Amino acid sequence: MLLIETLPNKNCQVKNFIYNKNIHPIISVVDAEGLSCSGYIEPTNEFITFKGSNYANFDNTFSFYILPDSTVETDPATALLSTYFDTSAKTTKPAFYTALSASTIDFVSTLSYSYSFTNTQAMKSTGPVVMPVLQSYTSGYDFEDGIATIEMTNFVMTAKGSVYAIAREIATITTDPQDEFETIDTPVRAYRTPSHTQINNCLDWNGEAVDACAKAVIANSDNVELLLKNLKSNTVYIVYYTVANEYPIEPVFSDAIESFEIRVLGAARLLVNGALILAMLFVCLFV
């Protein structure tokens, strides 16, 4: 498997160019999200299995992978790569840009061969493929038109990879019958840490469908937002998340599964809290 990096992503155009015009059709071309391109007018996704939302930011650069066919002894596509890439110098040969020009693709600023790795290396996170560590991120939520979205942003990762996350309702937020300016959380279900397989399949610890499910591809220095959408207000959610290495065909997860709870308040609840704060300030001013 070869990792090729280019600038920027134009809806599979570069990948389809390689697939259709310059590489034997046996080869597969897959981007960092796991989305693959085919020779059809509407690209098909042969490899991706994740059913949640995908988020990536490829405005500046994107990575894609060229996979020779392991079922044939000598894939002719591999031999053709030497026409366009100097794998020793990790550079693109002039022939590639000549071919791009002939195909009227003029948006590629730079393109380089990065490295190659085997399926075994990917599955074990050895060699060029390493298991990333999520060092930090920012969490919060947005509320608009009665619909809430939990946000995970500002990811800092030690290497290329993906963050997978699920959200599940664990309590409802209601007004405290003893104090109209306070709230109480009423649990709706017990919860425990799900497995990696359950997270990848957008399921909770009981094997039931979650309320929201998404992954974010952290493939370069551009910031990526992971959004868990279509959630209810006045609800407490538990968010479980884990990271996987960069292997685009099958997620290879780290051992760690982390979590955080977030209380999503609706507009009415926010107004009550705001009124309470104003009332307290008013009292303080005149005491």
Which run of H or of E encompasses 86? strand 85-86
Residue 221: its pLDDT value, please? 66
Which run of H or of E encompasses 78? helix 76-84
* Boundaries of every domain in the chain: 2-116, 134-273
With both helix axes pointing from N to C terminus, report the angle between 94-102 and 76-84 in degrees, rounded to the nearest 10. Answer: 100
* Of 101 and 53, more confident: 53
User: Is the pLDDT reported for residue 284 higher than 60?
Assistant: no
Closest CA to 161 of 252, 234, 98: 252
Residue 56: its pLDDT value, please? 87
* Of 93 and 53, more confident: 53
Interval 19-69: pLDDT, tens = 444 444 445 667 777 776 654 545 566 666 788 999 988 777 777 787 766
Which residue type does 150 have? I
Per-residue burial over 117-128, b = 16 or more CB atoms within 10 Å of its CB, e = otherwise? beeebbeebeeb
Token look-up 């299995």 returns 49
| Burial category of 7 from C-beta neighbours within 10 Å (exposed 0-12, middle 13-18, buried 19 and up) | middle
Question: What count of Cα atoms within 13 Å lies in the side-chain half-sphere of residue 199?
Answer: 29
User: Is the pLDDT reported for residue 282 higher than 60?
Assistant: no
Percent over 70 (pLDDT), the chain? 71
CATH class belonging to 134-273:
mainly beta
Interval 201-251: pLDDT, tens = 999 999 999 999 999 999 866 689 999 999 999 999 999 999 999 998 889
Interval 114-138: pLDDT, tens = 888 888 999 999 999 999 999 999 9
Residue 241: its pLDDT value, please? 98
Residue 28: its pLDDT value, please? 63
Closest CA to 267 of 80, 162, 132, 141: 141
* Of 164 and 282, more confident: 164
Please tell me the distance from the alpha carbon of residue 90 to that of residue 206, in angstroms, as a whole number: 47
Tokens representing 90 are: 């990790």
